[in-house]
Amino acid sequence: MRRKIYKKIVITLLIATVAFLLVSYFVGVKSNQNPATAVSFNNEAEDVEVKKVQVSEKKQQKESPKELVVNQDLITTSLKVQDQSYTVKIKEGSSAYELMLELKKQGLTFSGSEYSGIGFYVSEINGLVENKKTRAYWTVYINGKQSNLGVSALILKENDTIEWKYETRN
């Protein structure tokens, strides 16, 4: 009876040790620490040997953010606002909001606010601000159709055209 209890305790301790070492290993790899801990067992349950081992350099090397951007597919999209047009290559899976952020480098200006549920709401583009008294607002169109999604939820595809129109609503 004691032997069975002893065996269960030893097995539980071994499992806990292995789990701890696995977690330590993966945390070490993610934080770029060189050493990891390995466990080796002899036939007898009492003999547990813990030793340090080196993780291979290949496992530790992470791709730099620059490499990730270079390897990602780019798509061509365009944005029209008032009398200006922009054509940009942007990462596949980007939103119209991310496109607009990228276009700030080319002189586009805009502002707005983030709202839960709808995402980013654009209230001003290139100095033209919405006017609540006249009910004039910026409306986003994608490929000629008014979007029912907010600009930050609007995921772009190859050759999409985003157009902003300053419109009066009833």
If asked whether residues 56 and 72 sit together in one domain, one would say: no
What confidence score (pLDDT) does residue 70 get?
45
Residues 136 and 80 in one domain: yes
Q: In which domain, by residue range, is 19 found?
A: 2-60
Q: Are residues 131 and 151 in the same domain?
A: yes
- Does residue 111 share a domain with residue 42? no
Q: Please check whether residues 154 and 73 belong to one and the same domain.
A: yes
Q: pLDDT by residue (tens digit) across 101-145?
A: 999 999 999 999 998 888 899 999 999 999 999 999 999 999 999
What per-residue confidence (pLDDT) applies to 15? 79
User: pLDDT at position 3, please?
Assistant: 73
Q: Let me know whether 131 and 54 are in one domain.
A: no
154: exposed, middle or buried (Cβ count in 10 Å: 0-12, 13-18, 19+): buried
Q: Same structural domain for residues 55 and 129?
A: no
Residues 120 and 148 in one domain: yes
**What domain count does the chain have?**
2
Could you give the CA distance from residue 153 to residue 95 in angstroms, rounded to a whole number? 6
Give the model's pLDDT for residue 23.
55
Please give the single-letter amino acid code of residue 7.
K
In the predicted model, what is the mean pLDDT of residues 39-68? 43
Read off the pLDDT of residues 77-91 as tens digits, 9 standing for 90 and up: 999 999 999 999 999
| Domain termination site, one of 28, 43, 60 | 60
74, 132: one domain = yes
Out of 60, 80, 99, pick the residue that ends a domain.
60
Mention every residue, 6+ apart, whose C-beta is less than 8 A from residue 100: 79, 108, 110, 122, 151
Band (pLDDT 50/70/90 cuts) for residue 169 is confident
pTM exceeds cut of 0.75: no
Q: Which CATH number fits the domain that encloses residue 72? A: 2.170.130.30
pLDDT at 84: 92
